[in-house]
Amino acid sequence: MSLSQAVFLSLALIISFLTSFVATRWVIAQSLKKGIVGVDVNKKERPKVASIGGVGPIAGFLAGGFTLLIENAQDSSDITEEIIIGVLLTSLIIAFLGLLDDILDIKQSIRAFTPVFAAVPLSIFSLGHSTINIPFIGRVDFGIWYNIIVVPFALTIAANAFNMLEGLNGLGAGMGIIMAITLAVIGLRAGGASTVSGELALVLALSLLAFLVFNRYPAKAFPGNVGTYFIGASIGALGISGYMLTALFFLYIPYAVEFFLKARTKFKGVSFGKVREDGTLYWDERPHSLTHVVMKLGRLKEYQVVAVLWGVEAVFAVTAYFFQVTVIKL
């Protein structure tokens, strides 16, 4: 990485963090003023919280991404620009669809398939590689079906899975930061086209870090569907464009478990808990979520449940890095 590239990357990270921070504060103020709020059911007081705070990190990611695009437009290959444009367009489309869902409350049966539309930019630019190293199976070449089926399917799974495991202060933002940093380390180590995805992953991590300032316990803003779909789809887009599908596989294992827990309830289950007098959370029914599994470990407060799940994701992040660099050998 040249000095000018390092400077632009640093600038992109700063812009991403500051834009996300300022935008989130503005969204919180406007949401409270206009009554766009949700109830924090994991608190005895059940406070009202801005419900579409996820708009903030979206603004930060787009601002930081455009900064990288400006730098790469001066001296880069076409694939570099295509990765940045493709990922940013995917993030913008899924954010718009998520915001529509927050406003219109779209039926779950319809909402589940909306991320397919966000995969269009990735397919148009043919980002990623049709030959995939599938863990425990080996190399599989999907050919033309990669862009027609694999990319839309992978992005839809990534967005929906991330949306399922939400409901506690700071949970989704923290998980997203861990996943983004993992992809950043892998991509920057790999070089080539993967480096661009790695840089964008760092930008995503910084935008989420700024949002976490307001989303951590006790939260002043919820991400909303606009935020959770954005994080999940962006992580998926970065993994696809940076040839890091092996890493995505391991990073999403907790979400696969969440999927099966939710499936047992016909996807009507919740992730939040019940509140004791001392503020700790519990769940005395059959678990609907990984959050409930953690709650059954002992008398834990909300932020402690979140910390445990962050730790679980961190373990899978290390596993993802190991398998990506040894199986794919980036």
Residue 235: which residues within 8 A CB-CB, separation 6 or more? 158, 162, 176, 179, 180, 183, 204, 248, 251
Query: Is residue 277 included in any domain, yes or no?
Result: no
Query: Is residue 290 included in any domain, yes or no?
Result: no
Q: Which domain holds residue 218?
A: 3-246
Task: In whole angstroms, give the CA distance from residue 66 to residue 165.
Answer: 30
Query: Is residue 20 included in any domain, yes or no?
Result: yes
Residue 284 confidence (pLDDT) above 90: yes
Residue 3 confidence (pLDDT) above 80: no
Residue 75 confidence (pLDDT) above 70: no
Residue 266 confidence (pLDDT) above 70: yes
The residues pairing with 48 across neighbouring beta strands, listed in sequence order, are: 39
pLDDT digits (tens, 9 = 90+) for 137-186: 767 777 777 888 888 998 999 999 999 999 999 999 999 999 999 999 99
Query: Is residue 154 included in any domain, yes or no?
Result: yes
Query: Is residue 50 included in any domain, yes or no?
Result: yes
For residues 40 and 169, the answer to whether their CB atoms sit within 8 Å is: yes
Query: Is residue 13 included in any domain, yes or no?
Result: yes
The reply to whether the predicted model has a pTM over 0.85 is yes
pLDDT digits (tens, 9 = 90+) for 298-329: 999 999 999 999 999 999 999 999 999 887 65
Number of Cα atoms under 13 Å in the Cβ half of residue 16:
26
- Say how many domains are in the chain: 1
Query: Is residue 92 included in any domain, yes or no?
Result: yes
Confidence of residue 239 (pLDDT cuts 50, 70, 90): very high
Query: Is residue 112 included in any domain, yes or no?
Result: yes
